[in-house]
Amino acid sequence: MDLFLQQTLDGLATGAIYASLALAVVMIYQAIDHFNFAQGEMAMFSTFIAWQLIAWGMPYWAAFLICLAFSFIGGMLIERVIFAPIHDAPVLSHIVIFIALTLIFNALAGFVWDFTIKEFPSPFPDKLPFESTLIGPHEFGVVGITLVMLGLIYVFFRFTPVGLAMRAAAANPVSAALVGISVKRMLGLGWGLAAVVGAVAGMMIAPKVYLEPNMMLGILLYGFAGAVVGGLTSPGGAVVGGFLMGVLENLAGTYIIGSELKLTFALVVIVAVLLFKPAGLFGRVVVMRV
């Protein structure tokens, strides 16, 4: 039973990472109807920037905040410079650009910081404030930070005028523009926020998997799986899906398939959900008119 609880709680910690990435993916999907295949590499790049700042002697939380600011601006720039001009281009063009960005971020990180693995510090104390053998201090901190961030994002979208405008721009761009919302600015803002959420995920997972340019590929796959399970039209669902994937990954790894087929597990989940319940657990069923 202890093993089961341990694996579940540990799964919640990685699930928090998947939930963040799933949320980032869904935010961009809501805004431009495309999957950001470069989300993982963007997060990895942000994490490298934080690592560099810390290596230059900056305290962790200062580096954390500067990295978030940088990610926000970077995300907005990517939207404005690369995606705004091809807004109406065919799907393939978008996929190709996302793949190109993946290549660029991956290789650029390798060029600047080389491909050897690096230790990334955990900001949390070595000991929990209470006695527990079930969850480590870093895992506890990750879940805490993620929940705080998700809470802030919820409050932002639910209770601020900008959040409302962003939701309007994603739900119905034409009507939103008619009531005076700058849809373009909202798109940029969405990209910036998604990059920030991804950067937090990257900085939280890096102490566990070590920092290197290829660290996010498998994690992004789980993020996608979380988004698909929860429903691509539902940000809240994507978060739940991410946590669910973290727990399922650990339990399946412990009791069924072993640790060597974790990526295959994500593949099976993605294909199965898309086949049998394409809207996911919480998504809206999209009806196409012919």
Nearer to another protein, 108 or 177 (CB): 108
What does the alpha-carbon distance between residue 46 and residue 192 come to, in Å, rounded to a whole number? 12
Q: Cα-flanking dihedrals φ and ψ of residue 172, to 5°?
A: -155, 85
Nearer to another protein among residue 45 and residue 140 (C-beta): 45
Contact between residue 23 and residue 150 where contact means Cβ atoms under 8 Å apart: yes
Minimum CB distance to another protein smaller for 41 or for 139: 41
CB of 153 to another protein, least distance (A): 23
Residue nearer to another protein on the CB measure, 44 or 225:
225
Closest CA to 248 of 3, 2, 1, 14: 14
3-state secondary structure 202-253: HHHHHHHHCECCCCCHHHHHHHHHHHHHHCCCCHHHHHHHHHHHHHHHHHHH
Other beta carbons less than 10 A from residue 259's beta carbon = 10
- Least distance from C-beta 271 to another protein, angstroms? 5
d(CA 6, CA 98): 37
Nearer CB in complex with another protein: 55/95: 95
Distance in Å, CB of 18 to another protein, minimum: 14
Residue type, 15: G
Query: Where does this chain bind another protein (CB under 8 A)?
Result: 33-35, 37, 82, 85-86, 89, 91-93, 95-97, 99-104, 106-108, 110-111, 114-115, 217-218, 221, 224-225, 228, 260-264, 266-267, 270-271, 274-275, 278, 290
Closest distance to another protein from the beta carbon of 94 (Å)? 9
Q: How far is the CB of 231 from another protein (least distance, A)?
A: 13
